[in-house]
């Protein structure tokens, strides 16, 4: 029997039926050598509703799991779902760039494994009132942490045209960023843009027919607004180095990304950690210059066709993984 929660339309849903963890078996396979030992600690840096966490705690009976999430609703659901693992599960309300502080608060110096499942959680997507989806009308909120102040509606109401264009270009890779920014500024002078339906209609009206046939015109703009509201990329830039440093020797990290901007950050940081620091021209690599990490997969792994068919949210996923070989040189 799964946990029963009330859905966005008032329907009662079984939690285990609405949350299918992405690439679960592959994540377990990659992390098992590091966490399948007594005293192992795994950090689920993006706990969500606890789908990955539940599987790890079930498979590894001596594992301790620290779950981080900025979303209080998700934490409450995960705590209920995982209460049978009392003593082995430690939830922490924080953004994942706070991994070091979270571990310090629990008296943990280094961990055996770390998992990041980036992007918007199933809970956030499925709760219409959170405003993450462009397919249904809702208030333009998009906060992953409801205790934070900045919302998508505030951005649309207060950002200058140039700033709107910048975030649409940088975070949405939107070719019509300038056109959309201008139309938003013109429209808000007439009435506030507070609901997703308003914004979608505005973007559709501003999109040339030839372009609109290539995909939904709101997709990239909504992505850009979500990233700006939640400072996702700056948080990730701080989180990955902090996570790498939190691993013990032999510890492993797995990161699931869902769009190219996230994946570039992970790729860059993993490549730097796995690179030799030997000066050019040295005939033999000195031990102090050898790589601190090794990459566990070649490039970025994608979901199989079977995984995509079973779980459509796995379609854009890119998986990267690394293992710590040695601690940082003093």
pLDDT, tens digit only, all 330 positions of the chain = 455 554 433 444 455 445 679 999 999 999 999 999 999 999 999 999 899 999 999 999 999 999 999 988 889 999 999 999 989 999 999 999 999 999 999 999 999 999 999 977 666 566 656 667 787 899 999 998 888 999 999 999 999 999 999 999 999 999 999 999 999 999 999 999 999 999 999 999 999 887 755 678 899 999 999 999 999 999 999 999 999 999 999 999 999 999 999 999 999 999 999 998 777 666 666 667 789 999 999 999 999 999 999 888 899 999 999 999 998 766
CATH 1.10.150.170: which residues of the chain? 129-230
Q: How far apart are the first and last CA of the chain?
A: 51
Domain ranges in the chain with CATH number 3.40.50.150: 4-117+232-324
Q: What is the pLDDT of residues 277-309, one digit of tens each?
A: 777 666 666 667 789 999 999 999 999 999 999
- What global pTM score does this model have? 0.89
Alpha-carbon gap, residue 39 to 63, rounded angstroms? 7
| Binding-site residues for S-adenosyl-L-methionine | 50-52, 69, 96, 117, 124
Contacts of 270 (CB under 8 A, 6+ apart): 240, 293, 295, 320, 322
The pLDDT tens digits for 227-269 are 999 999 999 999 999 999 999 999 999 999 999 999 999 999 9
Task: Give me the CATH topology for the region 129-230.
Answer: DNA polymerase; domain 1 (1.10.150)
Task: Give the residue numbers of the binding site.
Answer: 50-52, 69, 96, 117, 124
The third-level CATH classification (topology) of the domain covering 4-117+232-324 is Rossmann fold (3.40.50)
Q: Contact, 249 vs 326, CB < 8 A?
A: yes
CA dist 136 to 56, 131, 198, 312, Å? 34, 8, 11, 19
Neighbouring residues of 44: CB distance < 8 A, sequence distance ≥ 6: 52, 53, 56, 65, 66, 67, 68, 115, 117
């Amino acid at each position: 029997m799964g946990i029963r929660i009330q859905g966005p339309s008032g329907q009662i849903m079984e939690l285990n039926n609405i949350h299918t963890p992405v690439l679960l078996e592959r994540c377990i396979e990659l992390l098992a050598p590091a966490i399948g030992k007594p005293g192992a600690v795994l950090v689920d840096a993006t706990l969500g509703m606890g789908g990955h966490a539940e599987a790890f705690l079930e498979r590894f009976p001596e594992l301790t799991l620290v779950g981080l999430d900025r979303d209080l609703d998700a934490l409450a659901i995960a705590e209920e779902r995982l209460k049978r693992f009392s003593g082995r599960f430690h939830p922490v309300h924080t953004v994942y760039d706070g991994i070091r502080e979270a571990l310090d608060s629990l008296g943990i110096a280094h961990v055996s494994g770390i998992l990041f499942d980036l992007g918007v959680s199933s809970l956030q997507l499925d709760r219409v009132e959170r405003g993450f989806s462009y397919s249904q009308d809702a208030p333009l909120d998009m906060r992953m942490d409801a205790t934070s102040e900045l919302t998508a509606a505030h951005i649309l109401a207060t950002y200058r045209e140039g700033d709107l264009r910048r975030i649409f270009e940088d975070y949405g890779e939107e070719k019509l960023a300038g056109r959309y920014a201008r139309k938003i500024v013109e429209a808000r002078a007439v009435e506030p843009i507070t609901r997703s339906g308003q914004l979608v209609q505005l973007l559709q009206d501003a999109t040339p027919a030839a372009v609109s046939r290539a995909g939904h015109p709101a997709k990239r703009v909504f992505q850009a607004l979500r990233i700006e509201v939640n400072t996702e990329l700056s948080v990730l830039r701080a989180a990955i180095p902090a996570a790498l440093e939190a691993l013990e020797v032999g510890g492993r990290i797995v990161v699931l990304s869902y769009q190219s901007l996230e994946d570039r950050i992970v790729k860059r940081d993993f490549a730097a950690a796995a690179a030799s620091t030997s000066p050019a021209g040295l005939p033999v690599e000195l031990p102090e210059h050898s790589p601190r990490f090794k990459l566990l997969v070649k490039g970025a792994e994608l979901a199989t066709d079977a995984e995509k068919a079973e779980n459509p949210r796995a379609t854009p996923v890119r998986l990267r993984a690394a293992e710590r070989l040695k601690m940082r040189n003093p």
